[in-house]
DNA sequence: GCGCTCTACTAGCGCGCTCTAGTGATAGAG
DNA sequence: CTCTATCACTAGAGCGCGCTAGTAGAGCGC
């Protein structure tokens, strides 16, 4: 690493002077603080002329409303908290659509991500500290007890996680249906040795696992049922590949926990010289944008991220407005997207 | 979409009751509010016994410190604002390491992402509204004027963007060196028709473009120089592929603007039946974790995300502590990672 | 006894804003 | 001319906390 010192004009200007407040604007514009407040809140009760003058003064002295003070003073914060896992490309899709819908409904969004060193509880604490009016949790892995507790104290919407008899709203796709379609399709192509890498305790995993078993049974393939434990990261795909490659024979098709898992699996298979889909077919889950873009198009179960995000925000806002309405579960239909990682068995 | 109403136990419990405050805790614990404050700030001056009792009471009544009130009351917020583009996997890598370092230094982080409907200015406004003590901008595309202005008013650290004669700190890799290494390597493999898809106005693009030209010239390939305009998204790779495929002959190697661009390109080439690396070699830039995991390992110029994030946070904190120190430019060496998308020309 | 320090705590102001309850000025109705 | 309505604006309380200044009491040396 090298380090350079840039000359620059350090000593000039307003550098780090005290941040201007509403009072500064008021004084300079020759009006009361209350009026400035009113104008910045877009509330009626100020003449167009004054309004303009206040905005001009504000711009001139570089005033920005202070979110903290605003939050503290007002009963409403008009803020939604979104918990996500920044590594997850599908979450990126969801976040984008959340923003769009929140904008439409006049809400702000604050993000809080989990990272390896920062678990879901910390992420949630940060959001609640910001006085979010509702939480939107993207694929939460937290315990059911904690989730239930949380939803008793705050409006909570979970995306991609179904909680039986829950007190919280949830928005997700019909996991079972997606898996069933995938298995039906693979069987239709002639596969019989279809295994499943599951998502462990990840959101939706239990349903997918169950649906896989049911679908296999339906096709009379009960004895071929096999689940390799995994999770929702690339690593689990990699790991599953190692397990499979150590054995005598590969299955002809693999149903991965999600796209990330599928990508990890594909990477490892490719390194081992296994041809996809000639030797093994691979199906993902999510259809995050990367799946589409990867140079071999991944066959995957499409979840409508845009709609999921939109509905989650709508549901959150409705929940804020009527806290005691019964909990809702919104279920979208998934759709199998056949691309290039699947074909007839070898 | 289907909708279900879940019974749930809506009417019980503390649902949405007034949020408990420090006074509630104080009262219930039989101490003054000031003492509770002190305890929650981890400040010395309370007996271990009282401390424990206060924490117990707080937990019992579900008290959480209010970030807004805390921010408002204290001069310091100990908060760093990070602007990112959530779609960008490289940013995910950076954010993770920022968190780790901020944790170490006792700072909080608040995230603000750009999305298609929410530009950089809005993202920055949100951060400043939260009274962040410094801004860390991941690959900002904003105008130089705005950036300079911003850095005059607040501590700002830019990652992956170099601003000549700047008043702001920047942390980035030696773009030129990475590109030079890539070109040297390709030429060493026997390539002569090496083209570059550039990153438009994206961070680092100008330097990379310039370095590409210089490197080609150095190898006596001045006449083979060719730059296809692009940007830092998958789409630009796709688009460049279309341009190239429409022509009589493909180049033997392509230096993409970044990994995302390279992935788009690979996808399109694959669909067109062009073999990589047999017919065309492809080199990316960033080495975001996806590059590694993609089932064909992408040859790319590695940027040390962990170190970049770490240094950005350190620099931001140092800037907060000494606002008038000269601006610094921290430059890390990149490193070519040869994987599977490159080889000798056809 | 005195003054001293140290520990464990409390009183109360003010951060920048929102929001309710006003005030005064002008206009139109009766 | 009074009465009410409307408009443009203001006064001031208080949101939940941090923080400075202070106090009460215990312990200690002399």
* pLDDT tens track for A265-288: 998 898 888 999 999 999 999 998
Q: Name the residue in chain B with its Cα closest to that of A307.
A: B1
Considering only CA atoms, which residue is closest to the C1' of nucleotide C16?
Answer: A69
Give residue A120's pLDDT.
97
Spanning CA of B316 to C1' of D17, the rounded length in angstroms is 26
Q: What's the CA–C1' distance between B61 and C15, in Å? A: 27
SS3 A262: helix
Domains in chain A, CATH or no CATH each: 22-65 (1.10.260.40), 79-172+305-332 (3.40.50.2300), 175-304 (3.40.50.2300)
Q: What is the pLDDT of residue A291?
A: 74
Regarding beta strands B281-286 and B299-302, do their DSSP bridges make them parallel or antiparallel, or are they unpaired?
A: parallel
Reported as a single tens digit per residue, the pLDDT across B171-196 is: 999 999 999 999 999 999 999 999 99
Average model confidence (pLDDT) for chain B? 91
With CB atoms and an 8 Å threshold, state whether A327 touches B10.
yes
Per-residue pLDDT tens digits for A34-92: 999 999 999 998 999 999 999 999 999 999 999 999 999 998 899 999 999 999 989 99
User: Distance between terminal CA atoms of chain A?
Assistant: 52
Residue B293 above 70 pLDDT?
no
Q: What DSSP character marks residue A222?
A: G
Query: Which residues 6+ apart lie within 8 Å of A119 measured at CB?
Result: none
Q: Residue B7's pLDDT is what?
A: 61
* pLDDT the model gives residue B294: 63
Q: For B143-147, B202-206, B299-303, which range has the lowest pLDDT when averaged over its residues?
A: B202-206
- Asked which of A2-16, B114-128, B224-238 is least confident by mean pLDDT, the reply is A2-16
Give the distance from residue B223's alpha carbon to the nearest chain A alpha carbon, in angstroms: 31
Residue B154's closest chain A neighbor by CA? A16
Distance between CA atoms of residues B330 and B315, nearest Å: 9
How many other β-carbons are positioned within 10 Å of the β-carbon of residue A127? Answer: 24
pLDDT above 50 for A22: yes
Residue A197 banded pLDDT, cuts 50, 70, 90: very high
Asked if B224 CB < 7 A from strand C, the reply is no
Q: Is the CB of A69 under 7 A from strand C?
A: yes
Q: Which residue has the higher pLDDT, B79 or B294?
A: B79
Chain B residues in contact with A329 by the CB 8 A cut-off are 3-6
Window from A165-169, B139-143, B215-219 with minimum mean pLDDT: A165-169
Where do we find the tokens 């914060």?
Answer: A77
The answer, yes or no, to whether residue B10 has pLDDT greater than 50, is no
Query: What is the predicted pLDDT for the residue at B9?
Result: 47
Inter-chain Cβ pairs, chain A and chain B, closer than 8 A: 236
Of A139, A134, A93, A133, give the one whose Cα is nearest residue A114: A139
Question: What 3 state SS string does B3-14 have?
Answer: EEEECCCCCCCC
Model confidence at A7: pLDDT above 80: no
Residue B190 CB partners (closer than 8 Å, separation 6+): B344, B345
Best mutation target, A2, A8, A69, A98, to test chain B (most B CBs within 10 A)? A8
pLDDT at site A11: 39
CB-to-strand D contacts below 7 angstroms: A 31-35, 38, 45-47, 49-50, 69, 72-73; B 18-19, 21-23, 33-34, 37-38, 40-41, 63-66, 69-70, 72-76
Interatomic CA distance for residues A154 and A41, integer angstroms:
26
Mean pLDDT of chain A: 91
Q: What is the mean pLDDT of residues A220-246?
A: 95
Write the pLDDT tens digit of every residue in B158-175: 999 988 777 899 999 999
- Contacts of residue A342, defined as CB under 8 A and 6 or more positions apart, other chains included, come to A185, A186, A189, A253, A277, A281, A282, A283, A299
Tokens of B125: 């406004």
Q: Do B295 and A266 touch (CB under 8 A)?
A: yes
Q: What values do phi and psi take at B94, rounded to 5?
A: -65, -45
CB B189 within 8 A of CB B157: no
Question: What is the pLDDT at residue A166?
Answer: 74
B126 CB neighbours in chain A (<8 A) are 67, 108
The predicted model gives A100-123 an average pLDDT of 95
The pLDDT assigned to B270 comes to 82
* CA–CA separation, A76 and A106 (whole Å): 12
The answer to whether B149 touches B138, Cβ cutoff 8 Å, is no
Confidence bin at B204 (pLDDT 50/70/90): confident
**What is the Cα B239 distance to its own chain's centre?**
25
- Rounded distance, CA A82 to CA A133, Å? 11
Q: Is the separation of the CB atoms in B101 and A100 below 8 Å?
A: no
* Distance in Å, residue B51 CA to nucleotide D20 C1': 22
pLDDT at residue B13 in the model:
41
CA B31 to C1' D24, in angstroms, rounded, equals 15
Predicted confidence at residue B162, as pLDDT, reads 84
Q: Chain B partners of A112 at a C-beta cutoff of 8 Å?
A: 111
Q: What is the pLDDT of residues B35-60, one digit of tens each?
A: 999 999 999 989 999 999 999 999 99
CA–CA dist B215, B221 (Å, integer): 9
Query: Which residues on chain A are in Cβ contact (under 8 Å) with B3?
Result: 328-331
């Amino acid at each position: 690493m090298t380090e350079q010192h840039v000359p620059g004009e350090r000593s000039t200007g307003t550098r780090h002077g005290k941040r201007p407040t509403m009072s500064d604007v008021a004084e300079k514009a020759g009006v009361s603080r209350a009026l400035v407040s009113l104008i910045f809140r877009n509330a009626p009760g100020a003449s167009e002329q004054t309004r303009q003058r206040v905005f001009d003064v504000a711009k001139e002295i570089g005033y920005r409303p202070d979110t903290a003070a605003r939050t503290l003073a007002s009963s409403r914060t008009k803020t939604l908290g979104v918990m996500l896992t920044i590594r997850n490309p599908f979450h990126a899709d969801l976040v984008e659509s959340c923003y769009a819908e929140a904008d439409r409904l006049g809400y702000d969004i604050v993000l809080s991500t989990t990272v390896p060193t920062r678990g879901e509880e910390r992420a949630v604490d940060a959001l609640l500290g910001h006085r979010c009016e509702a939480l939107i949790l993207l694929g939460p892995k937290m315990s059911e007890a904690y989730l239930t507790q949380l939803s008793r104290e705050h409006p909570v919407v979970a995306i991609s996680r179904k909680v039986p008899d829950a007190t919280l709203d949830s928005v997700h796709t019909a996991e079972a249906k997606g898996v069933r379609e995938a298995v039906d399709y693979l069987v239709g192509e002639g596969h019989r040795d279809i295994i499943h890498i599951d998502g462990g305790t990840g959101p939706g995993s239990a349903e997918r696992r169950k649906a896989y078993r049911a679908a296999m049974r339906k096709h009379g393939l009960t004895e071929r049922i096999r689940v390799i434990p995994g999770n929702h990261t690339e690593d689990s795909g990699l790991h599953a590949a190692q397990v499979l490659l150590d054995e005598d024979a590969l299955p002809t098709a693999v149903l991965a926990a999600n796209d990330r898992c599928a990508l990890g699996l594909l990477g490892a298979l490719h390194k081992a010289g296994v041809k996809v889909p000639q030797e093994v077919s691979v199906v993902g889950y999510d259809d995050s944008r990367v799946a589409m873009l990867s140079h071999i198009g991944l066959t995957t179960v499409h979840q409508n991220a845009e709609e999921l995000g939109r509905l989650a925000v709508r549901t959150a806002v409705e929940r804020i407005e009527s806290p005691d309405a019964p909990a809702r579960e919104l279920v979208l239909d998934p759709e199998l997207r056949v691309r290039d990682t699947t074909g007839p068995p070898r």
